[in-house]
Amino acid sequence: MNEERRKAERIYSWDIFEPFVLAIQKNVIIVGNISDISDTGLAIQVDSGNYKSVEIGSTIRCLISGSSIKDVKISGKIIRVETVASNAGTKGLIAIEFSNSIRASEQVKLLVSVYSKSA
């Protein structure tokens, strides 16, 4: 599975943009930024420790928002939760596999094209 999820081409947010992400899983609200995104899913980087309370395999809903884009709503399944080191210290990472890859893929392409033009 790890090799399969890595086959999709990824666009890293530090290359093009850092949109805001609001994610809800049951009673847990997560605020973060997109770490990377592909046609099949995305990874959210978060500062707070509440990412540790999300459950792998559970459904999560996300709202991706930015200053020059229309809000994008996606949903998916949490496939990985981990703690990672960054320049700003330790952060959480939540990997999500899109529920509807075709629909999400079109939204992702639109999101990327908007930010690519403004960069």
Does the residue 88 lie in any domain? yes
86 belongs to a structural domain: yes
Q: What is the 3-state secondary structure (H, E, C) of 20-81?
A: EEEEEECCEEEEEEEEEECCCEEEEEECCHHHHHCCCCCEEEEEEECCCCCCEEEEEEEEEE
Position 35, amino acid: S
Tell me if 74 sits within 8 A of 101, measured CB to CB: no
**Within-domain flag for 119:** no
**Joined tokens for residue 81:** 């939760």
Summarize pLDDT for 3-41 with one digit per residue, the tens: 666 667 666 554 445 678 889 998 899 999 888 887 788
Residue 9 lies inside a defined structural domain of this protein: yes
Contact 63, 48 (CB under 8 A): no
Please indicate whether residue 103 or residue 34 has the higher confidence score (pLDDT): 34
Structural domain that includes position 95: 2-113
Q: Tell me whether residue 35 is in a domain.
A: yes
pLDDT of 36-65, one tens digit each? 887 788 899 998 778 889 999 999 999 988
Q: What is the CATH number of the domain that holds 57?
A: 2.40.10.220
Is residue 85 one of the residues assigned to a domain? Answer: yes
> Number of structural domains, the chain?
1
Residue 118 lies in a domain: no
Contact present, 49 and 7 (Cβ < 8 Å): no
